[in-house]
Amino acid sequence: MSQPQHRHSDSGTIPSMTSVQHELRDNTIIIVFGASGDLAKKKTFPALFGLYRDGYLPKDVKIIGYARTKMEEVDFHKRVTQYIKNPDEDQEVVAKIDEFKKISTYISGGYEDDASFENLESHLKVLESGRLSKERNRVFYLALPPSVFIPVAGRVKKLNYSEDGVNRIIVEKPFGKDLESSRKLLGSLKQYWTEDETFRIDHYLGKEMVKNILVLRFANIALSAAWDKNSISSVQITFKEEFGTEGRGGYFDEFGIIRDILQNHLLQVLTVLTMERPVSFAAEDIRDEKVKVLRAIPPIAKEHTLLGQYVAANGKPGYLDDNTVPPNSTCPTFAATTLWINNPRWEGVPFILKAGKAMNDAKVEVRIQFKDVTSGIFKDVARNELVLRIQPSESVYLKLNTKMPGLYTRAMPTEMDLTYKRRFADNKIPEAYEALILDALKGDHSNFVRQDELDYAWKIFTPILHWIEGKDGIAPKPSPYPYGSRGPNIDAFVRKYGYIRSSEGYTWPITTLRDLANL
């Protein structure tokens, strides 16, 4: 079967906004550590297949899965293709899956013994032996828990590092548990791998709507002119899941909702939302501006934080009913916290980050509420709001006031609606992991987290995390909220920071799963 067409920015596709350095176009092997785990089979391999299907992986690429689990190659192929979507049994996709299996092999081995990595090196050399070029590029993807990051990173550098090509290592979060552990982890990693070789993934930076924020802000004078403290009253960045820990409470209890969502995903969205215009779209120019934002944010205060833990309701079990959760755990499954950016553009504007499990719906969005219009000819006019729906169903809503049709002059709130699946019905929206793996192959760091970014992010969150864990006194007890609710007293919390809910009689357009199926 023919290989997919190898695409580059000069072959009719839209060129990247970022500069490309050392793009891996051929002679490349991608090694996925943790290949038997959930992350690899649900995200990494489906993303690699998506890139392969569309012709974006390097020419004649080979993929190696590596894990402790002993399994036959046929079982490995079944595992890594089970989450590839092909609901209509498209025969072209079926054929591509067969091709993908042929370029993918599996090696079983440990993570802390040299012999396993020597075995991997022998396998790498066999795959590379048939190539005419002396170039040997290798990309190592660590879909692993952080406890084995350093043993694997060290042995890969010692025993599998190519001296005849480009080497890159991709590392998944969590990057430590607080400032001290993060510095220790990243410092150890830096002993083996340079910053240019290291790609730290926060997959939210690969999401289409997050990447679109820069274009919305800096390519539209109508928005950029109002993007500051003079026009904006408050900003909310919300992450909601409809399900609880569902048997994964042991892992979750170790990290909690703040480490899992706020300190990385939502904080990354905040930096893109608030950074100054970069000099260019080059990676370091973008990341420099993000770091400037983080440096202007003081550590989170207790009085600006609301914690919750879901309890049984609506036939669903509570967090403490999960057998994998330690008895009497005070780990929050919901957190809302307010950050302040002490710089000329944003001084005084509250940025409210909210995340929770077992909520009333599932969504991730940014809600920007503007200030009231000058009082005078209009009374009780609803505030303008701009909502960026990151998932599900990428959308941009702008709530504004317009005259109600009729003989009387009466203002009413309505919305301008840009729902991607309607407006861009013929365009495929890539998965975040597809975008990020492609960026790593291109050598583009702009959507990856730099080491100093992590340092400043942990400085913001470490004091509140130590308070929650009782390291600075008695641990606070989170407020209970029913499974399937909006969280513990969230309306009063956001009102405290000047947010005014939409006027009575108005509801935001909601896209249901049924609606999505019909688009």
pLDDT digits (tens, 9 = 90+) for 198-240: 999 888 888 888 988 989 999 999 888 999 999 999 999 999 9
What pLDDT is stored for residue 61 in this prediction? Answer: 94
CA-based nearest residue to 34, from 163, 170, 127: 170
**Interior/surface letters 390-401, b for 16+ CB within 10 angstroms, e for the rest:** bbebbbbbbbeb
Residue 172 has pLDDT above 70, yes or no: yes
| 16: DSSP letter | P
Find the range with the poorest average confidence among 154-158, 384-388, 459-463, 502-506. Answer: 502-506
Rounded-to-integer distance, Cα 519 and Cα 511, Å: 10
- For residue 475, the 8-state DSSP code is P
Question: In 33-90, which ranges are continuous DSSP H helix?
Answer: 38-39, 45-53, 73-81
Q: Read off the pLDDT band of 300 (50, 70, 90).
A: very high
Q: Which pair of tokens denotes residue 133?
A: 């070029």
Q: Residue 496: is its pLDDT beyond 70?
A: yes
DSSP 59: B
DSSP-derived pairing of the beta strands 167-172 and 137-142: parallel
Question: If DSSP codes are grouped into helix, strand and coil, which group holds residue 313?
Answer: strand
Strand bridging mode 62-67 / 28-33:
parallel
Beta bridge partners of residue 239, listed in sequence order: 355, 364
The alpha carbon dihedral of 143, 144, 149, 154 has a sign of negative
Which is it for strands 395-403 and 411-419: parallel, antiparallel or unpaired?
antiparallel
508 pLDDT band, cuts 50/70/90, is: low
Residue located via tokens 């499990």: 357
Yes or no: say if 480 and 309 are a contact pair by the CB < 8 Å rule.
yes
Q: Is 55 helix (H, G, I), strand (E, B) or coil?
A: coil
Mean confidence (pLDDT) of the chain: 88
Least confident of 18-32, 156-170, 293-307, 377-391: 18-32
The DSSP bridge partners found for residue 356 are 240, 334
pLDDT digits 0-9 by tens, 305-323: 999 999 999 899 999 999 8
CA distances from 420 to 145, 218, 365, 393, 471 (A): 35, 20, 14, 7, 46
Token pair 């009689």 in the structure block, residue: 505
For the annotated catalytic residues, the residue numbers are: 265
Find the range with the poorest average confidence among 82-96, 146-160, 231-245, 262-276.
82-96
- Mean pLDDT across the stretch 106-113? 95
In angstroms, the CA 417 to CA 420 distance is: 9
Q: What is the 3-state secondary structure (H, E, C) of 422-445?
A: HHCCCCCCCCHHHHHHHHHHHCCC
Spatial distance between the Cα atoms of 453 and 294, rounded to a whole number of angstroms: 7
Q: How far apart are CA 144 and CA 141, in angstroms?
A: 9
Bridge partners of 313, per DSSP, are 316
pLDDT confidence of residue 5 = 43
Burial call 422-453: b when 16+ CB within 10 Å, e when fewer: eeeeeeeebbbbbbbbbbbbbbbbbbbbbbbb
The two three-digit tokens of residue 175, written as one number: 């990057």
**3-class SS at 334?**
strand
pLDDT recorded at residue 20:
42
pLDDT band of residue 422 (cuts 50, 70, 90) is confident
Q: Is the dihedral of CA 22, 27, 33, 35 positive or negative?
A: positive
DSSP 364-415: EEEEEEEPPPPSSS--SPPPPEEEEEEESS-EEEEEEEEEPSSSS--EEEEE
Mean pLDDT of 450-467: 94
The encoded tokens of residue 395 equal 């959308």
DSSP three-state, residue 246: coil
> Hey, what domains does the chain have and what are their CATH numbers?
15-172 (3.40.50.720), 205-430+451-518 (3.30.360.10)
Lowest mean pLDDT, pick from 37-41, 125-129, 172-176, 183-187? 172-176
For residues 249 and 363, the model is more confident at 363
pTM for the structure as a whole: 0.88
- Is the pLDDT score of 488 beyond 90? yes
pLDDT at 506: 56
